[in-house]
Structure 1
Amino acid sequence: MAAVISLLIIISISLLITRIGTIAFVHTGLSKEVAKFQARSAYLGVGFTTKESELMVKDPVRRKILTFLIFTGNAGVITTISSVIFSFLSLQETGFFSVEMLVLAAGFGLLIFLAYSDFVDRRLSRFIEKLLKKYTYLDVKDYYSLLNLEGDYRVSELKVEEGDWVNQKSLKELQLDKEGVLILGIKRADGEYIGAPYGKTMVRVDDILILYGESSGLKNLEERKKGASGDEEHDDAVSEQNKKKEDQKN
């Protein structure tokens, strides 16, 4: 029984640590989904792609969080494996249809419920955020919440290709703000980054646009091609946005 309880405690602590890592990453500007993936990857030691590694390692605060997750993950994985071995040895002695097996199954069921419970997620997240504010020097601006990314709004990247509607146009010509889409920045192919670009800035092939807006609008823009059909889709998107503004006034 002791081995089974130890296993459940270790898994609970592991879930808590990755939750802390996720919230800490969110406070550094990552979206919740990316933060969750990075926290779990670091804790389990599965590694990242080159692009993701640069994203995480360049930021000094994220490096500290990664170090904490990797260190605790190495200890946690080894301890979990040991507990699993001892748990199954004890189950072999008592039989798989025993009190230990029922406790293990019930414990796993409870952990799964807690892991996917929105109520628990909100309460636990608030508690962890308070602790981070009190005991760390993290920049606790939650950019994910500030941009309302939990709703239909999100930040995405669009790599510009030759036949895209946005190619070889200035931001003034594109008038994406009238569609409800904002360009937060542009990454040039040569590595240059333009933050908060203005109207005369031209969009070129291989540029990566950092966009903010509703999911449906961003998806439409990503699929939009040059020509009359693209212009028509732009006009439709502008009309739809104007309609939403009128509905909000009423």
Structure 2
Amino acid sequence: MIAIISLLVVVFLSILITRIATIALTHTGLTRESAKFQARSAFSGAGFTTEESEMVVRHPVRRKIVMILILIGNAGIVAAISSLILTFVKQSTDSDLTIRVIFLVTGLLGLWLVASSKWADRWLSIIVERLLNRYTNLNVKDYASLLHLTGEYRLVELNIRKNDWVDGKKLSDIRLRDEGINVLGIRKSDGDYVGNPIGETRIEQKDTLVVYGRIEAIEKVDLRKKGVRGDIDHVKAVKKQKQEVFKEKKKEKKQTG
């Protein structure tokens, strides 16, 4: 039974560590979905085969986070396998074996429910973010305070993939600023960089957009695909941004009044 408890502890710590790494990576400019994928890939040793991995290895802080994840992940996997072996190789009766299996499955199911719970994710993220803000300095850019890169706002790099909503469109067509997102620059697939791009600049597959805005809005654009659904989501995002602007103006009016 001790071996099973040890295994559950290892699994719990694995979930916690990857969650901390995910939030740490978002502090360096990755979207949450990209950070989650890279953190889990590094921890599990699955390897990096995506374009996003290039943004990780080129960035000193991201590279350090990933290296730590790889080291901890290797040790965690070995410990988990060892605990699992000890659980079932020990001589025991059929009834003892059944109890162990039930206990193990129940424990893993409980951890899976906690890991997939939006409520648990939200509160764990808040706690981890506060600890990172208090004990670390992951906003390595010297303009972090100028752009208020805390809380809702982030400076993020977006890799443009095939069938992304912005792929093949001009900046003037997608009107990201109406969603509260500012495109500060575009790194083209051939290596050229377009700073402060104008409306006629066309976004193409394998380009990288440097954007600034609310992280929630940026993540939605990053996941948005071509088609009618994408256009509808854009209209909804524009409407939501107008509501946010109205709330901010109302709040500012109260403060000044």
Distance across 1 between alignment mates of 2:202 and 2:110: 51
What TM-score results when the alignment is normalised by the length of structure 2? 0.68
> Is the Cα contact below 8 Å between 1:29 and 1:142 reproduced in 2?
no
* Residues 42-98 of structure 1: per-residue CA shift (max 9 Å, x gap): 0011111263332101111101111110110111111111111111224x6232653
Name the CA distance, whole Å, in 1 between partners of 2:177 and 2:49. Answer: 34
Aligned to 1:134: 134
Q: 1:146 aligns with which of 148, 153, 161?
A: 153
Aligned to 1:24: 24
Summarize deviations over 1:96-148 as a string: whole Å, max 9, x none.
653322321221121011101111111111111122122222119458x426x
Distance 1:209 1:63 in 2: 19
On the 8 A contact 2:27/2:139 being kept in 1, the answer is: yes
**Percent of aligned positions with the same letter in both sequences?**
42
Say what the alpha-carbon RMSD is for the aligned residues. Answer: 3.9
SS at match of 1:186: strand
Q: Distance in 1 between matches of 2:118 and 2:188?
A: 40
Figure out how many residues of one structure are paired with residues of the other and give that number: 218
CA 192–183 in structure 1, closer or farther in 2 if over 3 Å, else same: farther
Q: Is the contact between residue 183 and residue 197 of structure 1 (CA under 8 Å) also seen in structure 2?
A: no
Deviation track 1:185-244 (CA, whole Å, cap 9, x = no partner) reads 323343112233134x5438767373877659x64xx459xxxxxxxxxxx98xx68x94
Gaps of 5+ in 2: 141-148, 212-216, 247-257
TM-score of the two chains, using structure 1 as the length reference = 0.70
Cα distance in 2 between the residues matched to 1:118 and 1:204: 34
Q: Distance in 1 between matches of 2:176 and 2:45?
A: 44
* 2:160 paired with 1:157: yes
- Secondary structure at the residue paired with 1:194? strand
Distance between the aligned counterparts of 1:208 and 1:102, measured in 2? Answer: 50
Q: In structure 2, what is the equivalent of residue 191 of structure 1?
A: 191
Is 187-196 or 58-67 further displaced after alignment? 187-196
SS at match of 1:98: helix
Which residue of 1 is the match for residue 175 of structure 2?
177
Cα offset, 1:177, TM superposition: 2.6
Residue 203 of structure 1: aligned partner: 202
Equivalents in 1 of 2:61, 2:100: separation in Å? 42
